[in-house]
Amino acid sequence: MKKSLSVIIPIYNESSNINLIHERLINVVNTLNLNYEFIYVNDGSVDNSLDLVKQLCINNSNIKYIDLSRNFGHQIAVTCGLDFSSGDKVVIIDADLQDPPELIIDLYNTSLKGFEVVYAKRKQRQGENFFKLITAKLFYRILIRITNISIPVDSGDFRLIDRKVVEALKTMTEANKFLRGQIAWIGFRQTFVEYDRDRRYGGKTGYTFKKMWRLAIDGITSFSDFPLRIATLSGFIFSFVSFVVILYALYSRIITKDYEPGWASIIVSVLFIGGVQLLSIGIIGEYVSRISQNVKKRPLYLIQESNL
Ligand code: UDP
Ligand code: MG
């Protein structure tokens, strides 16, 4: 029997890209000569993306759409697509053509050599601003240092995964999704294919600074306790320093009786210790808030309508 491929395309205000990516994806699956399904997950777009996607579904039963009840964010939209996918292999791809659809042919052929995960690694990134490049580079470098799973650097979610991996992901029901970390955690045989990342074809990025920050903290808190250990360590260091200073203060007050009013040193130490304390509480707070989100066990997304 022919193998089947699912392609998951999260959509957030992508009306200028949908028709083009669809056409290019169709060419790719025709070249590969596979059974296929495309799953367009509309993540609360406010333009006419949903109408365009519905148009694509009209004459082709391989094209599926899922309309979420609101904007849940990229990671959740992809998770929803994975939940409903049925292919032997599944591709996750952005809708804005930054991930060239033709690379799927390479990803697929590489997977046939016996890999459950083939991710696309960026050689170059075009049309991305300096701030995004720097923060992304820094983030991935820090992340691999403080986690003990090997999250690949310079790669996003553009990848091909085997059904085994999809089934494993479905059992990982945490609320704060960081898919590339989860897939790294899952293991199996993983490899990569390099590519040049294009600039966004039309429209503008849906990843605001707030969403990027959330993703970064989700990634770190889901896979590392390092920030908590830093909080503990700084506690130890400052307690030790404080203890020495206390001894010195008592010595000068009681024994030598040679002491200054010392306004500056008090202000500096109070502010400094106050800062460290607040930071530590903040770090603990990030973990606690994620515990609370997970304890609630809310569904990750709700579906408005679909043609599944
Ligand atoms: N996206 C989404 N929900 C969001 C933001 C983005 O489904 O809240 C989709 C978007 O339509 C695209 C992919 O996620 O297919 C990547 O988003 P984007 O290109 O805006 O991110 P960037 O490439 O700038 O990091
Ligand atoms: Mg993009």
pTM for the structure as a whole: 0.81
**Residue 247 pLDDT:** 83
Positions of the chain with pLDDT lower than 50, given as ranges: none
Q: May I ask the CATH class of domain 4-224?
A: alpha beta
**How does strand 63-68 pair with strand 155-162?**
unpaired
**Residue 40 pLDDT:** 96
**Residue 27 pLDDT:** 93
Residue pointed to by tokens 């083939």? 118
**Residue 304 pLDDT:** 94
Please compute, for residue 73, the number of CA atoms within 13 A of its CA located in the half-sphere on the CB side: 17
Domain boundaries, the chain: 4-224, 226-296
Q: In the numeric block, which tokens belong to residue 295? A: 């304890």
Residue to probe by mutation, ligand 1, list 9, 12, 50, most atoms within 8 Å of CB: 12
Of all protein residues, the one whose alpha carbon is nearest to atom 16 of ligand 1 is: 94
**Residue 14 pLDDT:** 92
**Residue 16 pLDDT:** 92
Q: Which residues line ligand 1 (CB under 6 A)?
A: 10-12, 14, 43, 71, 73-74, 77, 94-96, 98, 200, 205-207
Residues with beta carbon < 5 A to ion ligand 2? 94, 96, 98
Q: In the numeric block, which tokens belong to residue 248? A: 């010195």
**Residue 55 pLDDT:** 92
Of all protein residues, the one whose alpha carbon is nearest to atom 2 of ligand 1 is: 74
C-beta separation of 91 from 76 below 8 A? no
Residue 135 has phi, psi (to 5 degrees) of -65, -40
